[in-house]
């Protein structure tokens, strides 16, 4: 919840200046269709791309040499659209002289680019596929070098993995030093990295189309559902108000009045709005419906004080939080009441949400997991719609002044600490529409840096009460946080289990990298040799164990069985903590094992997985999602290394149902408790998924962390399932997983039933 949704002032003065000068170019009407384009007769579209290479040409009013800002807004019927500019500086059009920009739905999208010398022409490709579209906005704005450099450094510092932890003032000097060493111009190197921050992965289903194909709850069906509810509690909707747009405030209040569920109360606290029309509107609504209560504060106290004033009006057993310019879906409170009938002990409920633009279009849905406590520490994923048992809110002291901007994060942390996991209920429906306007946190979390600081303080306060030895820092992106859990003292021994057979060219880089790039000081590395015959491999194993006393070599002379080999290794391990590590893994940063052990040492945590990359710096493992492909798949597979992931999840430690055993850390006591890996039924595949699920069933939370980064040359040593025997074995393992886990594979609590089980990209189902 937030009040202020004002103008984006970071560069508004510059843009206002450019509007008045020829340095701002608006070429929308000068574009000439060139290829795969024809005017559309279907409303509301202006153009139809007839094939996958639509092109416009622009030969007049071209941007000047130097730094430019490209701005594009476009309505379209595709899941997502990326545009590309081709710049002809005299040698024609080429990929090397092009500018790529994936568009953000519902708003103007911007990026920097640099024009080296006067342009002869521009080719503008509005889509990469056939479809319909309407260009709403296209502008080139010349930028002063200092302003462009500032924007460039800010984006690299915030979004490029190479600059994590660096301030933007450090970026350009270090880039220039690196470019000098490589004998390149620094701008060329900077633009390469800048370009890499624009994600090229696109969802497969347009949200607008997805909404059209969803069955909407009719009034008749809503009444039938209502009649079946044995308990129909009063739900009080709390709305703090301060100078919102009158139209949006009216839409907000109407969205409550139009609820299918009749047992609601609307509790409004006006925080001394200066606009007299606000009071007139509130009086109009309160006089029209006895369920609407308003309190008028005489002094502006900001959102926490105003919310507490609204709490004084609450009569319901449950309360729901609503911002003064956001909207509820008509079935919102009915779905809440339905969930309460199914979960009578619930103390906290939350739904999925989306955003609504100034034009009324809905976009950017957030489909959330079930209760995910580590994700909540890293990000307020619960957010809207949040519904609380009123008594719990009063017990925790309501909203705390000083946490404005992240007051709902602070509240949900304090309330959830008083509840058991089954008392926190996720409702997998989009019940809340968050108004996205210029300057709002719905539009961009970078609009309000104070919200990140307030959130950091909320998480820090929570940890001081519940895990006092931890520390918390800002995450890689605004409104995200990294928790640093302490290592035990004394350090427990960790036994790294590395199964292998021959292929010294794979094994040696793995073992040497672990020995050289691991800060954690108390570990042993067990090479589990599965019948190697290659003389070079045998010689290397003999040499490395003599060279480094941390290395032991154990021989398993049985047919290949990944589960059995690791169980054998675990039985010989001296450590209290086991690390299952494939022989094609290479650590990137030396603190990888410290991070994983610190997580695995937490009493409530079971298996801990790492962030793994292919050698080309695309994601190989961002955790495991159940149900993808029938059994399980890797989250965010093939996303670029610096990609956000689904709502920045590729940069947040969070709970998952399973992680890959290619790099998995777990306490040996837990490994033994659940009986190790399943050597009888799962000799090659899915043994890690099965193991993680048994750990979860035993009452532990599995966790994936992005702060342990390693390369993984997946399956390079074992090879592909390309023989009839291997394919039959793989099918047997799939069938076993379906028999053993059944419907649990299709309802991953760390995922969402509205998201795909076909792909690994969190696209819509």
- The answer to whether residue 741 sits within a structural domain is yes
**458 shares a domain with 390:** yes
| 211 within 8 A of 114, measured Cβ to Cβ | no
Distance CA 172, CA 179 (A): 10
Structural domain boundaries enclosing 665: 494-746
pLDDT at 447: 44
Q: Does residue 754 lie in a domain region? A: no
The 8-class DSSP code of residue 423 comes to G
pLDDT, one tens digit per residue, over 622-651 is 999 999 888 999 999 988 888 889 999 999
- 430 plus 555 within the same structural domain: no
Residue 20 has pLDDT above 50, yes or no: no
CATH of the domain at 396: 3.90.550.10
Same-domain status, 561 and 528: yes
| Mean of all residue pLDDT scores within the chain | 90
Q: Is residue 634 part of a domain?
A: yes
Burial 644-666 (b: 16+ CB within 10 A, else e): bbbbbbbbbbbbbbbbbbbbbbb
Q: Is residue 760 part of a domain?
A: no
Structure tokens at 640: 């670029």
- Cα–Cα distance measured from residue 414 to residue 568, given in angstroms and rounded to the nearest whole number: 44
Task: Give kind and range of the element (H or E) at residue 353.
Answer: strand 348-356
Task: Give the Cβ contact number of residue 669 at 10 Å.
Answer: 10
Residue 368 belongs to some domain of the structure: yes
Same domain as 578, residue 457 = no
Global pTM reads 0.80
- Angle at 230 (CA atoms; ends 227, 235), nearest 5 degrees: 90
For residue 426, give every residue at least 6 positions away whose Cβ sits within 8 Å of its Cβ, in sequence order, or none: 349, 350, 351, 368, 369, 370, 371
- Residues 276, 181 within the same domain: no
Burial pattern 392-422, b for ≥16 Cβ within 10 A else e, equals bbeebebbbeebbbbbbbbbbbbbbeebeee
Same domain for 466 and 349: yes
Residue 77: pLDDT band with limits 50, 70, 90: confident
Domain membership flag for residue 753 = no
Please write the tens of the pLDDT for every residue from 291-342: 999 999 999 999 999 999 999 999 999 999 999 999 999 999 999 999 999 9
Torsion angles phi and psi, residue 152, rounded to 5: -65, -50
User: CA of 724: how far to CAs of 614, 719, 720, 729, in Å?
Assistant: 27, 14, 11, 9
Q: At residue 9, does pLDDT exceed 60?
A: no
**Half-sphere exposure of 532 toward its Cβ, with a 13 Å CA cutoff?**
23
Helix (H, G, I), strand (E, B) or coil at 106: coil
Number of separate domains in the chain: 3
Last residue of a domain, one of 482, 508, 533: 482
Instruction: Let me know: does 417 contact 377? Beta carbons within 8 Å.
Output: no
Domain boundary among 444, 460, 482: 482
Question: Which three-class secondary structure state does DSSP give residue 764?
Answer: strand
CATH number of the domain within which 72 lies: 2.60.120.260
- Among residues 714, 709, 717, which one has the least CA distance to residue 518? 709
> Do both 400 and 512 map to the same domain?
no
Whether 244 contacts 278, CB under 8 Å: yes
Q: What is the pLDDT of residues 131-146, one digit of tens each?
A: 889 999 999 999 999 9
Rounded-to-integer distance, Cα 451 and Cα 403, Å = 8
- The answer to whether position 201 is within a domain reads no
Q: Are residues 635 and 507 in the same domain?
A: yes
HEC letters along 668-708: HHHHHHCCCCCCCCCCCCCHHHHHHHHHHHCCCEEEEEEEE
Tell me how far apart the alpha carbons of residues 241 and 302 are, in angstroms, rounded to a whole number. Answer: 9
Whose CA is closest to 51, among 68, 66, 34, 65?
A: 34
Query: CA-CA distance, 361 to 217, in Å (whole number)?
Result: 19
Percent of the chain past pLDDT 70, that is, above it, reads 92
Same domain, residue pair 226 and 164: no
Which residue has tokens 């079935």?
A: 331
- The reply to whether 344 and 274 lie within a common domain is yes
Domain boundary among 416, 449, 482: 482
Instruction: Please state, in angstroms and rounded to a whole number, the distance separating the CA atoms of residues 393 and 404.
Output: 17
Please enumerate in sequence order all residues whose Cβ is within 8 A of that of 313, keeping only pairs 6 or more positions apart, or say none: 236, 265, 267, 268, 269, 293, 295
Q: Which of 21-25, 147-151, 385-389 has the highest mean pLDDT?
A: 385-389
**Does residue 311 sit in the same domain as residue 422?**
yes
Residue 520 in domain: yes
The whole-angstrom separation of Cα 396 and Cα 313 is: 17
Percent of the chain whose pLDDT exceeds 90: 75
> pLDDT, tens digit, for every residue of 212-265?
888 889 999 999 999 999 999 999 999 999 999 999 999 999 999 999 999 999
d(CA 157, CA 160): 6
Claim to verify: residue 736 and residue 612 sit in the same structural domain: yes
């Amino acid at each position: 919840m937030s009040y202020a949704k004002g103008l984006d002032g970071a560069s508004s003065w510059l843009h206002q200046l450019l509007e008045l000068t020829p340095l701002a170019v608006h070429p929308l009407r000068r574009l000439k269709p060139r290829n795969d384009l024809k005017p559309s007769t279907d409303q509301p579209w202006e153009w139809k791309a007839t094939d996958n290479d639509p092109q416009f040409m622009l030969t007049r009013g071209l941007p000047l040499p130097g730094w430019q800002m490209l701005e594009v807004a476009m309505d379209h019927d595709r899941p997502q659209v990326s545009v590309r500019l081709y710049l002809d500086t005299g040698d024609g059009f080429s990929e090397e002289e092009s500018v790529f920009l994936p568009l953000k739905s519902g708003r103007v999208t911007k990026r920097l680019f640099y024009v080296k010398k006067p342009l002869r022409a521009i080719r503008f490709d509005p889509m990469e596929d056939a479809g319909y579209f309407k260009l709403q906005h296209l502008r080139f704005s010349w930028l002063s070098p200092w302003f462009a450099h500032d924007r460039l450094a800010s984006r690299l510092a915030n979004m490029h993995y190479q600059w994590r932890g660096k301030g933007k003032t450090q970026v350009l000097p270090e880039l220039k030093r690196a470019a000098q060493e490589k004998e390149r111009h620094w701008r060329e190197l900077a633009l390469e990295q800048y370009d890499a921050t624009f994600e090229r992965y696109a969802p497969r289903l347009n949200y607008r189309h997805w909404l059209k194909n969803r069955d909407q709850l009719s009034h008749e069906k809503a009444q039938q559902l209502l009649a079946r509810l044995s308990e129909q509690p009063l739900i009080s909707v709390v709305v703090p108000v301060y100078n919102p747009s009158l139209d949006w405030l009216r839409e907000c209040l109407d969205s409550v009045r139009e609820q299918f569920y009749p047992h609601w109360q609307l509790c409004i606290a006006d925080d001394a709005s200066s606009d007299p029309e606000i009071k007139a509107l509130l009086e109009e609504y309160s006089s029209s419906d006895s369920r609407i209560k308003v309190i008028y504060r005489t002094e502006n106290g900001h959102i926490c004080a105003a919310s507490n004033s609204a709490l004084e009006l609450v009569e319901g057993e449950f309360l729901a939080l609503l911002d003064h310019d956001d909207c509820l879906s008509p079935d919102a409170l009915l779905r809440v009441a339905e969930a309460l009938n199914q979960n009578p002990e619930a103390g906290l409920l939350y739904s999925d949400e989306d955003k609504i633009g100034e034009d009324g279009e809905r976009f950017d849905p957030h489909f959330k997991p079930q209760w995910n406590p580590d994700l909540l520490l890293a990000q307020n994923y619960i957010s809207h719609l949040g519904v609380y048992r009123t008594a719990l809110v009063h017990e925790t002291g309501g909203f705390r002044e000083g946490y404005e901007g992240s007051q709902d994060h602070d509240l949900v942390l304090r309330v959830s600490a008083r509840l058991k996991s089954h008392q926190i209920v996720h409702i997998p429906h989009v019940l809340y529409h968050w108004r996205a306007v210029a300057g709002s946190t719905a539009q961009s979390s970078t609009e309000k840096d104070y919200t990140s600081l307030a959130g950091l303080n909320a998480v820090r306060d929570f940890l001081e009460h519940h895990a006092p030895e931890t520390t918390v820092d800002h995450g890689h992106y605004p409104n995200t946080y990294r928790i640093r859990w302490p290592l035990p003292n004394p350090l427990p021994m960790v036994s790294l289990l590395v199964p292998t057979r021959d292929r010294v060219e794979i094994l040696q880089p793995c073992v040497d990298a672990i020995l050289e790039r691991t800060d954690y000081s108390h570990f042993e590395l067990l090479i589990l040799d599965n019948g190697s015959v290659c003389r070079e491999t045998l010689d290397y194993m003999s040499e490395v164990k003599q060279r480094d006393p941390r290395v032991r070599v154990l021989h398993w002379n049985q047919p290949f069985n990944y589960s059995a080999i690791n169980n054998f290794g675990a039985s010989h391990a001296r450590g209290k903590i086991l690390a299952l590590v494939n022989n094609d893994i290479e650590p990137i940063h030396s603190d990888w094992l410290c991070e994983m052990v610190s997580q695995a040492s937490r009493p409530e945590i079971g298996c801990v997985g790492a962030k793994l990359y292919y050698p080309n710096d695309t994601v190989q493992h961002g955790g495991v999602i159940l149900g993808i492909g029938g059994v399980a798949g890797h989250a965010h597979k093939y996303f670029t290394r610096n990609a956000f992931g689904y709502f920045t999840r590729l940069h947040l430690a969070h709970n998952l149902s399973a992680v890959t055993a290619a790099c998995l850390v777990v306490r040996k006591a837990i490994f033994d408790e659940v009986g190790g890996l399943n050597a009888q039924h799962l000799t090659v595949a899915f043994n890690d998924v099965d193991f993680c699920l048994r750990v979860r069933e035993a009452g532990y939370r599995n966790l994936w962390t992005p702060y342990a980064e390693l390369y993984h040359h997946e399956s390079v040593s074992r090879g592909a399932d390309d023989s009839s025997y291997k394919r039959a074995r793989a099918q047997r393992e799939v069938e076993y997983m379906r028999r053993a886990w059944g419907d649990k594979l299709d309802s991953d609590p760390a995922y969402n039933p509205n998201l795909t089980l076909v792909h690994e990209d969190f696209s819509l189902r």
